Structure 1
Amino acid sequence: MLQDSIGVKAPLQDRYFEDYEPGLVNFCGSEYVDEKEVLEFGRRFDPQWIHTDMARAASGPFSGVIASGWHTVSLMMKIFVTSYWNQDASLGGLGTDDLRWLSPVRPGDTLSAKFTVIEARRSKSKPDRGIVQVRIEGYRDNGELVVTMITSALARTRAAKTRRATDAVLVQLHS
């Protein structure tokens, strides 16, 4: 369902702060929702019967087991990290706002994500990095929107990457 990116053009391993321009949209990733993982995640982290008890959930409000919302968010994070966000440029997350679970996610679903850059601003105190705010939308394979959130993260600038590489060479030369 999700395809045709109109956003970040740089390959994943070459994306830095400068590449995440406001307004850019990327569709990426695909994560299968496995029944065993839904049950295990539910037991470990969100032990409500709608996530852990197949028999009881069958006659419950969702007519079957559903993934914990936190499991769904974890799947979105996996897509973010593996398909969208350069881990070498990442300096960590700052937080998530406006998290909404819009439709239950079920075993057997396949989720994909749409990432929209809302804001990107260079740090005033540390100009080798910037803050990127991204709207994340998670979609079921039939196109139904199941989760939305806004996340903010720190990213290195391309100049910081160059400085790090130069520093590494200097360390090797002086070792």
Structure 2
Amino acid sequence: MAAPRSLYLEDIAVGDRFVSGEHALDADQIKAFAAQYDPQPFHLDEAAAEGSLFGGLAASGWHTAALTMKLFVSAVPVAEGLIGAGVEVTWPKPTRADDILHTESTVTEITPSRSRPGRAMVTIETLTLNQSGETRQRLVSRVVMFARAQG
């Protein structure tokens, strides 16, 4: 069951931190995602991946991003949903078939709207980490958040 969506703008502050649950990744998941969305040899075939820059089977960065979104949404219970306004994403190390991923998200900036009272642009840095604490993805998101309705 999804976490209740309960956080409004007045419920958050710079420095707030959210930690997700875990997702265990395996080779079948990597290959299934790649076959549908990123069909490159280093995502589809262990032998081909061995001779690649990755030196072994690696998840697509977009697979890591999709898993990050799943974990991020489950961990950050924004009342009206996470409405994205842009992201910066980097993949410092490849995600592997034996990785158990979780996210750690930190509110880094809150910029109230000058033209639309009751909303703000919130910047959140989300690190996707494996079971050893190694960063597999860094995502800096700008999301729109709303204050509780007055009335």
Where does residue 36 of structure 2 map in the other structure?
44
Identity, % of aligned pairs? 32
Match of 1:53 among 42, 45, 51: 45
- Deviations along 1:136-168, one digit per CA (max 9) or x if unpaired, are 11110111111112101111212x2x66xxxxx
Tell me which of 132, 141, 145 is aligned to 1:142.
132
Displacement after TM superposition at 1:12 (Å): 5.0
Measured on the aligned residues, the alpha-carbon RMSD in Å equals 1.9
User: Equivalents in 1 of 2:40, 2:51: separation in Å?
Assistant: 15
Q: Deviation string for 1:110-140 (max 9, x for gaps)?
A: 1111111111122222212221100111110
Secondary structure in 1 matching 2:105: strand
Q: Secondary structure at the match of 1:149?
A: strand
Of 124, 128, 135 in structure 1, the residue corresponding to residue 114 of structure 2 is: 124
2:134 paired with 1:153: no
**Where do 1:95-110 residues align within 5 Å?**
95-97=86-88, 99-110=89-100
3-state secondary structure, aligned to 2:101: strand
Is the 1:25–1:116 Cα contact (8 Å) retained in structure 2?
yes
Output the CA distance in 1 between the equivalents of 2:127 and 2:82. 22
Give distance in 2, aligned partners of 1:151 and 1:38. Answer: 24
Deviations 1:72-113 (A, max 9, x none): 111111111112132x4226100102x211111111211111
Alignment of 1:78 with 2:60, yes or no, is no
Q: Unmatched 5+ residue regions in structure 1?
A: 1-10, 164-175
Instruction: Tell me the equivalent position of 2:22.
Output: 30
- Residue 36 of structure 1 aligns to a residue whose secondary structure is helix
Please give the alpha-carbon distance, in whole angstroms, between the structure 2 residues aligned to 1:127 and 1:136. 27
* 1:19 equivalent in structure 2: 11
Higher-Rg structure is 1
- Which of 59-68 and 128-137 deviates more? 59-68
TM-score normalised per structure 1: 0.76
Contact conserved, 2:121 with 2:144, CA < 8 A, in 1? yes
The total of aligned residue pairs comes to 149
Judge which range, 21-30 or 70-79, deviates more. 21-30
Give the gaps of 5 or more residues in structure 2: none
